Structure 1
């Protein structure tokens, strides 16, 4: 009768196969190192690990610019796949930025993480620094100031002066006054203003020499003579006719005045003669040698002739 001995070689092969299958199965069940998602990342403790066998757990947290709004952040390795973390992350809100003096903002897309706003200054002010701000994890990024606009120092004018006496340049809305030395007058505006664009409201005036009265009269006469010379022949002829008429009128008036004057002189002479005749008769009476007819005859004849 034969006795069957167990096949120890086959058993050994079976054990080897079982061991290899178990080893391969264990290797295949491990998960790779977890990666960050859109708005969350593995914690620092998770990133320090090297092995992630099947069934192990890791923790996620909200990334920069996001705040936790619920959940634990735990993820589990199941058959080489990480489960979705039960964590809710929402974008942080930087809030309304603080506006400094003479500053305004344009906010086209809100104030959440990643948003950009633009900086503007009031009239007469200009931006110093960045003209925008961006919401980052630490708050608003970008420094900006609104500085007042300044103009260049006003220029000096010959034979005059301006009122600006300080070292700093004139600023927006500041006014510079001009005046002239003795004997000169201003030609142009007496003051200029620093405008919002950094330019003056107008060019500085000029100081020109003042004209004396004699010079003014000479210039006026020169202009008058020039006007006569350059007049048309018809105008000259008319002027000459007016002068002739005026001369005739003057001569006529002089004749009218001369006739009454001559009559008056003759009348005075006649009165003087009569007075002299009576005086003469009075003297003859006193002497007693008066002849009524013969002596007075020549004088009477002379008076009648007058």
Structure 2
């Protein structure tokens, strides 16, 4: 039975073992520990199911021995150069992997399928080659629609299958719907873009201490609400507001909320009792019954949370506050 890698100056990451007929899952957040399992249809014969990265003065290596599995399962299907493969896990007896030639290539020899039989993929390797005739070319990319501009393309001429151009909203406008990309499809025609832009405001800029919820795209009349994340308090900054509205001239009616770190004693009490310190005004992050809102951290059309982000524990000035603890209510 072979032992795992010897100490190596490049470290464990570049020499992680991947035994055949197995799959691996990390057992730590730092890629220093992995659990190994036999593919369905196979059983463990020998070797270790958990291996650690061992660090020494001579380098790093993986502890234990390679997991050896036997049975009717197969390893991952082989990757064939110049082909496209498809197969669904698990690779049990009778599983079929399909292969095809890329765009504008033709099959020369071999089979388009391989079958898992007694732990081995059977079937002749597919061989493809580029067609002799030149690839078809798409016409000139579509002109930008109203209130949009073309930013860049993957080619300057002779657009072939898969080439694309990116379109963006003109300054002072925001995306209402549609795609930002026009794509050359099969060298015949363009798919998209169907980008629609309307007059609006740029996304409000906040830091990690502020939660932002907006009513869809930032078009004229749209509102954005702000509240402080747990363990942060509202800070007084001239012009900052809890709710701002996009005006007709493409600017917001105020500045986003600014939050500061809570005092140490509040943070300690909150962490100790696993409670959430929340800023004042329970509705400061709620904008009414709109069905969908925009979360600046994760993209458009995120359903509004059903829980209340902002509790009544703190007043806006931050001069007095309440922290809920297991023993009752403590005031500072």
What is the TM-score with the length of structure 2 in the denominator?
Answer: 0.22
What is the TM-score with the length of structure 1 in the denominator?
Answer: 0.24
Bigger strand share? 2
Larger radius of gyration: 1
Bigger helix share? 1
Higher normalized contact order (CA 8 Å, seq sep 6+, divided by chain length) = 2
